[in-house]
Amino acid sequence: MKSVLKGVQLPNGKTTDVTIEGTTIAAIESTSEAGLDCSGLIALPGFVDVHTHLREPGFEASETVLSGSRSAAAGGYTAVLAMANTDPVTDKAEVAELVARLGAESGYCEVQPIGSVTKGLRGAELSDLEGLAKSSAKVRMFSDDGMCVFDESLMREALIRVKAFDGVIAQHSQDPQLTVGAQMNEGPLATELGLKGWPAIAEEAIIKRDAQLALETNSRLHICHLTTAGAVEVVRWAKAKGAKITAEVTPHHLLLTEELVRSYDPVYKVNPPLRRQEDALALQAAVLDGTIDVIGTDHAPHSAEKKQCEWQNAAFGMVGLEHAASVLQQVLIENGGQTWERFAALMSTKPAEIARLTGQGELRVGAVANLALIDPNARRTIQFQTHSRSQNNPFARTVLPGAVVHTIYRGRFTVVNQEVQELNG
């Protein structure tokens, strides 16, 4: 099958045609052949999310691999890394292989499972890291996300063991002893609202400890969802020291702040919590100066039963796949004056590199045809109704720039004119 994308703009600003043959980008040059009119659209390598919760197996009322994959395609993603906090936990090869198989059967994007660092996410004994790496799922990223690997000796051992197969530990940085019962960011607003505070030091202390372990072991460490100005400074310090450390930020921590908690609307309840305005500004600056490497959505769907209740009883988490690109366009392009090449690095190239995914994060002749085409001039009101099974979307009713018009996964259109396609195997 052959497709020609006519008149697309590349990340470097050049306007040309892109020819796809089968699953491969066959040419990037003007051609006399007819094709799909893509005038005004920017072609980017398909997005890669290193931090997605697909909930299956175990929590299918909130999300399935299929519904999450459709949501990902709608957001321009051609690969997602699925977190391990499922039921059963992805701490064995057979669970990882199940998730990968469900993703392949869905066909909307590559679904790469993340293995848990510890068995059952209990933080007491390491998972079979080598077995997960050797499985057909070829797991390279490990995380207990939702929980912190708090035991320092276990964390050190995990960092040492993943070096053998070029793996990476993705840490949810949260000192559990400092956050017992915490409900929102610690500070005057938490006191005013009568909610238990979540101190910044709970995040920053763990990042500093782990950065030192990464330096000592010379192993790869990825920091999930930074939220504080202090955490940015710790990452900056660790990179200057030569640590193999990368960091992500979520769309919601870039633009939303703790002030929204005044509403007591549980849609704003998230782990780690929304922080102060000065923290959000520090995160935006870190995206612009390169301290933060990638945008990770922490797409965390929850059913209405878990979210539409009193604040204290509501689950932590927000969905994020379908609007992440628009948030980054606002921060990076419209407010920051940065380039689409930098955008592609944050959303695609660098995440693929961290996860060691092949066939992702590239836009060149001979590469796998994984592409996202964006209309940068569009402005849209984000909708509650999504392709996800859950609607805990904090950006609903918000106007954001940009829209994913087409998504192409392995040469196949999964989204056409903003409509997710029905795939037949």
Annotated binding-site residue? 393: no
Number of H helices, E strands in the chain: 13, 19
Asked whether 266 and 314 are in contact (CB, 8 A), the reply is yes
Which residues neighbour 301 within 8 Å (Cβ) at sequence distance 6 or greater? 53, 55, 62, 63, 68, 317, 319, 388, 389, 390, 392
Annotated binding-site residue? 225: yes
Q: Give Cα separations from 74 to 167, 202, 278, 289, 338 (angstroms).
A: 29, 35, 31, 28, 24
Annotated binding-site residue? 298: yes
Annotated binding-site residue? 53: yes
Annotated binding-site residue? 172: yes
| 3-state SS assignment for residue 128 | coil
Rg of the chain (C-alpha set): 20
Annotated binding-site residue? 317: yes
Annotated binding-site residue? 122: no
Annotated binding-site residue? 316: yes
Q: Is residue 210 flagged as an active site residue?
A: no
Q: Whole-angstrom Cα distance, residue 18 to residue 21? A: 10
Q: Rounded to 5, what percent of the chain is helix, strand, coil?
A: 35, 25, 45
Beta strands in 269-398 (DSSP E): 294-295, 371-381
Annotated binding-site residue? 51: yes
| 3-state SS assignment for residue 270 | coil
Instruction: Pick the catalytic residue from 49, 210, 298, 375.
Output: 298
For residue 48, give both structure tokens: 């890669």
State the virtual CA torsion across 336, 342, 343, 346 in degrees, nearest 10: -110
Beta strands in 10-143 (DSSP E): 15-21, 24-28, 36-37, 42-45, 47-52, 77-82, 110-113, 141-142
Task: Give me the active site residues, please.
Answer: 298
Annotated binding site for substrate: 53-55, 85, 271, 302, 316-317
Annotated binding site: 51, 53-55, 85, 145, 172, 225, 271, 298, 302, 316-317
Annotated binding site for Zn(2+): 51, 53, 145, 172, 225, 298
